[in-house]
Chain A
């Protein structure tokens, strides 16, 4: 018996490897740094993420498979890799002063973020259900810990425990789905699943896979953990979870359903369309009732998952590129919105209630203007990134015969304007609240906000280059 060595192509997984190695370095760095030097570990993480970004750009147009077709480098994966890395870089920029103020400034914090990013990058390059599952666990486990990272805070612990228990439960569904798909087709490779004959068992397996993905991206009715976890987790981690997990999980979601299961599209398109309607409507209506801004953004992230699901229902090249563009736009916009919330914090106190935002326009006109731009972009106003993203998604839906779904999406966007503008109204039209000093914005937080702002406006005004990059990259 002879064993063949798998086709090693380390170039294809270079971004994953670079982030994994920097995570290990940061973890070891934690042991040899004093508490005043932890900031250096954050800078080291940034270097690792940027190097991974460079390696990912080198994979543009590589179109290769490796490791017995377990991973695939296509422009779809590279686009999402860069989106996730951008989200992680912004999150770490926001974290420097936040972690110090909240007394959670440790090397483990950065190392866990990097481990999670490793899983995310692997997830968007995976071409096999087993690798998707491995990546799903690798991205989830560090996040469970990070959600509970403020150990003295009961809410943070509650968030971590809830996320862990429900996440483990959904992973089991996902794994069972893989088992059934394997039982029906005899393979876990996405391309070979597509080549085998559809059967009832495959359909059930696809349904269980859907549960696993729906949990991770928070689709109704698997969204119950979202508000509690997003509220309890440290705000930087909430920001990271709300964008990067979505980008990674939607990447694998789109790839699994569009590459492996197009033969069953007749069945799952209707189901996903119904879930999209429920998700958008519940997310937006529940967000109307929230006084806490983190909960409001949590429900808003549920609603955005619904919009992106429309792109999956629409299918085809237009749907895929709309979803990719939307994920990039949402990453920048949502990190900007959370960044503004972080920037407005004072020590361990955060402005969590909408009423806390009263009169900020006079004390911090620039920051107020930025938060306004991010909120308008989330609501889908031109000329910001969120508008172009929604335009592309609804356009793809109409093009592919799902006009009614686009109409529901537009109506939902209208509803969302109300709650996105509530902090804006408070900032510009209310009196300042007692007990809050004028916020001082740390330079690195300001840098993150400016980068996000540039991205949101650039994607809104000149969307063509990004749309071109997002188009037609899904390899089969």
Chain B
């Protein structure tokens, strides 16, 4: 029944009102003494320099994509490892074939220089 969701609606209104009131009061009443340190983006981090819109080498992109590829393949090992005994020889051979296919991709990327930084 839609009426069962009424507490959620009430909650929503209370939360919004609380946030709005808290922000408004602190903006009106709170003291304001800005210093350069307080205004910097990372108050206790390194001082920022230059523009954020710099060019980033595309090498990062390739590394990231390769990482995701092999990372996701690793995920498939977990269920197999958990059920290793039940799956027995069938699972072992199946996984060996899977790794073999993966290895072809690995060799390809390696020989094509996908892992070379420069």
Contact = CB atoms under 8 A, between A and B. Distances in A.
A266 interface: no
Contacts of B14: none
B106 to A, nearest CB: 11
A31 B90 contact: no
Nearest to B100: A24
A28 interface: yes
Nearest to B112: A31
B12 to A, nearest CB: 28
Contacts of A197: none
Nearest to A6: B90
Interface in B74-118: 83, 86-87, 90, 101, 104, 107-108, 111-112
A21 to B, nearest CB: 10
A98 B6 CA distance: 67
B104 A5 contact: no
Contact of A24 (B83, B90, B101, B112): B101
Nearest to B101: A24
A27 B104 CA distance: 8
B105 to A, nearest CB: 8
A28 B107 contact: yes
A1 B86 contact: yes
A3 B87 CA distance: 7
A27 B87 contact: no
Contact of A3 (B86, B104, B108, B111): B86
A15 B98 CA distance: 19
Contacts of A24: 101, 104
Interface residues of B, number: 10
Contacts of A35: none
B87 A31 contact: no
A1 B85 CA distance: 11
Interface in A57-84: none
Q: Is the interface of B mostly helix, strand, loop or mixed?
A: helix
A5 B90 contact: yes
Contact of B83 (A3, A5, A28): A3
A27 B111 CA distance: 11
A27 B108 CA distance: 7
Contacts of B107: 28, 31
A3 B86 CA distance: 6
Contacts of A27: 104, 108
Contacts of A28: 104, 107-108
A192 B86 CA distance: 28
A2 B87 CA distance: 8
A3 B85 CA distance: 10
Contacts of A5: 90
Interface in A1-36: 1-3, 5, 24, 27-28, 30-31
Contacts of B112: 31
Contacts of B90: 5
Contact of B108 (A1, A2, A31): A31
A30 B101 CA distance: 16
Contacts of B87: 3
A86 B108 CA distance: 29
A311 to B, nearest CB: 37
Which among A1, A2, A3 has the greatest number of chain B C-beta atoms within 10 A? A3
A24 B101 CA distance: 8
A31 B87 CA distance: 35
B104 A2 contact: no
A3 B94 CA distance: 14
A31 B83 contact: no
Contacts of A1: 86
Interface string A235-265: 0000000000000000000000000000000
A27 B109 CA distance: 10
Contacts of A3: 83, 86-87
Interface of A: 1-3, 5, 24, 27-28, 30-31
18 contacts: A1-B86, A2-B86, A3-B83, A3-B86, A3-B87, A5-B90, A24-B101, A24-B104, A27-B104, A27-B108, A28-B104, A28-B107, A28-B108, A30-B108, A31-B107, A31-B108, A31-B111, A31-B112
Interface of B: 83, 86-87, 90, 101, 104, 107-108, 111-112
Given A3-B87, A28-B104, A30-B108, 15 more contacts: A1-B86, A2-B86, A3-B83, A3-B86, A5-B90, A24-B101, A24-B104, A27-B104, A27-B108, A28-B107, A28-B108, A31-B107, A31-B108, A31-B111, A31-B112
Interface pairs A-B: 8 shortest CB-CB: A31-B111, A3-B86, A5-B90, A24-B104, A27-B108, A28-B104, A3-B87, A27-B104
